[in-house]
Amino acid sequence: MTGSLDEKIKRWVRPEIRALKAYHVPDASGLVKLDAMENPYSWPEDVRRQWMEVLQGVALNRYPDPDAHRIRERLRTTLDVPAGMELILGNGSDELIQTTLMAVSNPNAVVLAPTPTFVMYEMIATFTGMKFVGVPLQPDFSLAMPAMLKAIETHKPAVIFLAYPNNPTGNLFSREDVARVIEASPGLVVMDEAYHAFADHSFMDRLGKHDNLLVMRTLSKQGLAGLRLGVLAGPAPWLAEFNKVRLPYNIGSLTQASAEFALTHLALLDEQARQIRQDREQLFQALSRLRGVQAWPSQTNFILFRVEKRHADEVFESLRARGVLIKNLNSSSGMLKGCLRVTVGTPSENDAFLKALEAAL
Ligand code: PMP
């Protein structure tokens, strides 16, 4: 064997992969963790105990149910998936983005999304060998319709991702605009409803009305981020194709059993989401009152805000030094200059954040 390890990597790893940066997750030890849109609440002691009992019954020596039949049927009802529509599950919705793109990937195929949006659409498009086209949102974060329609006509995207509500801007796009995008698209439109629990609208009831529409959900933002369970719903013929590229046993037995258990305690999850929505409004009001801060209304469990008097990187570092970790979006793109994103935590975490922010401004 000749050549250094460096040379071997250059020879064998695709250039576009070498150019990527791995998804960075900062260390949050010892910090108030408001960076990742997690639900801050755990379950009451008695519910945790019942859960442990369920887990004891799981046969870890056996492979999981490859089709996750029981949890799929339960999700069909819980998520109000319209009759006649199918669903497949992923190890988080991240995996479902990957499954979708692997099924349609070819060197000329395009993935399109309005930007700024969830960064994994572009990353996964890149590593599945597709081209990503971003269409900038308007300054008020609504869809730039003439530009969207033009880009659809020019690029004929295989897949369009619309995060509904959008991350990191927190808003819902207009239903009429979305409907026009779906109608104009020759390929798939995936409505990514990761933040559905905190929003007032969904496209779930539109499934089947358009043969190119899929709706994606996740249990991550509802207090189950550690489980890794995402759901993609839509017409059976699409999902039958995607199912061929899904790895067998992608949903572990512990996840299947835990998710099934959690969904029998739906009222608890719903109550936590209701509390988070209520606290989001208080946090928004408090942020809006701060001088030098512009906060945007949100239909999610996070709030995007811009700091106007001090450099956002400094504010972010100063918050971290005061024990609060949020997300710095300042370097992302022109539209997010000066912007930071905070996840809605418990009332006391939100207070700690607000105090730290006031001191940091
Ligand atoms: N979609 C959007 C819009 C997101 O913001 C996120 C996570 N931040 C995901 C999907 C991925 O969620 P998960 O893989 O945990 O289901």
Span 167-189, pLDDT tens digits: 999 999 999 999 999 999 999 99
Give bridge partners of residue 132 from the DSSP assignment.
111
Q: Tell whether the torsion through CA atoms of 146, 149, 152 and 158 is positive or negative.
A: positive
Please count the CA atoms within 13 angstroms of the CA of 21 that sit on its side-chain side: 4
**Is residue 67 scored above 70 in pLDDT?**
yes
**Is residue 224 scored above 70 in pLDDT?**
yes
Centre of ligand 1 from the C-alpha of residue 22, in Å = 16
Centre of ligand 1 from the C-alpha of residue 309, in Å = 31
pLDDT of residue 326: 97
Q: Say whether pTM exceeds 0.85.
A: yes
Cβ proximity of 81 and 87 under 8 Å: yes
Cβ proximity of 223 and 269 under 8 Å: yes
**Is residue 349 scored above 80 in pLDDT?**
yes
**Is residue 1 scored above 70 in pLDDT?**
no
Cα–Cα distance, 49 to 274 (Å, whole number): 24
Q: How confident is the model at residue 334 (pLDDT cuts 50, 70, 90)?
A: confident
Cα–Cα distance, 190 to 174 (Å, whole number): 16
**Is residue 89 scored above 70 in pLDDT?**
yes
pLDDT of residue 3: 85
pLDDT of residue 162: 98
Centre of ligand 1 from the C-alpha of residue 343, in Å = 13
List, in order, residues 6 or more apart from 60 with CB less than 8 Å away. Answer: 253, 254
Domain chopping of the chain, boundaries? 5-44+267-360, 58-265
Centre of ligand 1 from the C-alpha of residue 194, in Å = 6
Question: Looking at domain 58-265, which CATH architecture does it have?
Answer: 3-Layer(aba) Sandwich (3.40)
**Pocket mutation for ligand 1, best pick of 24, 75, 94 (most atoms within 8 Å of C-beta):** 94
**Pocket mutation for ligand 1, best pick of 192, 202, 299, 303 (most atoms within 8 Å of C-beta):** 192
Mean of the per-residue pLDDT values of the chain: 96
Cβ proximity of 217 and 240 under 8 Å: no
Centre of ligand 1 from the C-alpha of residue 24, in Å = 14
**Is residue 333 scored above 80 in pLDDT?**
no
How much is the average pLDDT of 329-346?
91
Phi then psi for 134, rounded to 5 degrees? -105, 135
**Is residue 2 scored above 80 in pLDDT?**
no
Cβ proximity of 342 and 302 under 8 Å: yes
pLDDT of residue 348: 97
List, in order, residues 6 or more apart from 191 with CB less than 8 Å away. Answer: 162, 164, 178, 202, 203, 213, 214, 215, 216
Give bridge partners of residue 306 from the DSSP assignment.
294, 339
Centre of ligand 1 from the C-alpha of residue 122, in Å = 13
List, in order, residues 6 or more apart from 156 with CB less than 8 Å away. Answer: 110, 186, 187
pLDDT of residue 332: 62
250-277 per-position pLDDT tens digit: 999 999 999 999 999 999 999 999 999 9
Cα–Cα distance, 201 to 176 (Å, whole number): 13
Q: Which fold has domain 5-44+267-360?
A: Aspartate Aminotransferase, domain 1 (3.90.1150)
Site residues for ligand 1, CB cut-off 6 Å: 37, 92-94, 118, 163, 167, 192, 194, 218, 220, 225, 230
Alpha helix positions (H), the chain? 5-12, 15-18, 45-56, 69-78, 93-104, 120-127, 145-155, 175-184, 236-245, 253-263, 266-289, 312-321, 347-360
**Ligand 1 atom with minimal separation from the 229 CA:** 16
93-108 per-position pLDDT tens digit: 999 999 999 999 998 9
Q: Going by CA atoms, what residue is nearest to atom 1 of ligand 1?
A: 194
Token pair 């409004």 in the structure block, residue: 281
Cα–Cα distance, 139 to 142 (Å, whole number): 7
**Ligand 1 atom with minimal separation from the 163 CA:** 3
**Is residue 331 scored above 90 in pLDDT?**
no
List, in order, residues 6 or more apart from 97 with CB less than 8 Å away. Answer: 120, 121, 124, 161, 190, 192, 216
Preceding peptide of 165 cis, ω within 30°: yes
pLDDT of residue 187: 98
Cα–Cα distance, 20 to 277 (Å, whole number): 35
**Is residue 341 scored above 70 in pLDDT?**
yes
